[in-house]
């Protein structure tokens, strides 16, 4: 799996032949790693290409101070973080598409179907983002502009109401 030290150095110096060797040698490993975070083959391919674009753009920061194991570790780390970022962005896009209709109006009926409890629209929105889409409070804050403390309070209130409805 690892490439030779000379290939790693040539790759980082911008040699296209070394780039092609690293690109093909790591394909199976990185596809497996990426596929644990993204759903489709097309998304895997996009993320894989992004990984190598990032590597190509950052190659001069290493100089000649890298060995094959270092390149291996760095590729795996970049693949994992790129895949996670891609999956989160895709999840946010899906959440936005569910919440808004064509005119940009909130579509609470869909979330009402998913969460048929006596909770407010604000609480339903937070629960939908957290539970249905797995977004963090920080991600919801970035999307909506609602303070994290407010999001946590709404989520806690909604959970208390839903637990009460189940009793």
Residues 83 and 105 in one domain: no
Residues 55 and 109 in one domain: no
- Asked if 71 contacts 3 with a C-beta cutoff of 8 angstroms, the reply is yes
Please tell me the pTM assigned to this model: 0.57
Residue 25 lies in a domain: yes
pLDDT at position 46: 93
pLDDT band, very low/low/confident/very high, at 109 (cuts 50, 70, 90): very low
pLDDT at position 149: 94
Query: Which residues constitute the domain of residue 147?
Result: 100-166
For residue 1, is pLDDT > 70? no
| Sign of the C-alpha dihedral computed for residues 73, 6, 29 and 36 taken in this order | positive
Backbone angles phi, psi at 106, to 5 degrees: -60, 140
DSSP state letters, the chain: -PPPHHHHHHHHHT-HHHHHHHHHHTHHHHHHHHHTT--SHHHHHHHHHHHHHHHHHHGGGTTT---HHHHHHHHHHHHHHHHHHHHHHHHHHHHHHHHB-TTS-B-HHHHHHH--SS--HHHHHHHIIIIIT---HHHHHHHH---HHHHHHHHHHHHHHHHHHH-
122, 116, 127, 152: which is closest to 137 by C-alpha? 152
pLDDT band, very low/low/confident/very high, at 103 (cuts 50, 70, 90): low
Residues 65 and 84 in one domain: yes
pLDDT at position 108: 45
Residues 85 and 15 in one domain: yes
Total domain count, the chain: 2
Residues 142 and 123 in one domain: yes
Backbone angles phi, psi at 100, to 5 degrees: -110, 145
Structure confidence by residue, pLDDT tens digits, 122-140: 888 888 788 777 788 888 8
Mean pLDDT for all residues in the chain: 78
Residues 85 and 12 in one domain: yes
Identify the domain boundary among 89, 115, 138: 89
């Amino acid at each position: 799996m690892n490439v030779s030290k000379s290939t790693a150095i040539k790759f980082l110096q911008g040699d296209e032949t070394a780039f092609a060797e690293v690109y093909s040698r790591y394909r199976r490993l990185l596809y497996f790693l990426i596929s644990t975070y993204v759903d489709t083959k097309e998304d895997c391919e996009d993320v894989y290409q992004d990984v190598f674009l990032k590597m190509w753009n950052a190659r001069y920061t290493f100089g000649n101070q890298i060995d094959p194991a270092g390149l291996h570790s760095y590729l795996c780390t970049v693949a994992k973080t790129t895949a996670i970022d891609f999956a989160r962005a895709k999840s946010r896009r899906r959440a936005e598409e569910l919440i808004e209709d064509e005119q940009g109006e909130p579509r609470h009926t869909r979330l009402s179907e998913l969460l048929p409890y006596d909770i407010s629209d604000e609480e339903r929105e937070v629960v939908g983002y957290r539970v249905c889409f797995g977004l963090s409070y920080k991600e919801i804050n970035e999307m909506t502009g609602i303070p994290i403390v407010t999001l946590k309070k709404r989520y806690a209130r909604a959970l208390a109401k839903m637990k009460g409805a189940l009793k």
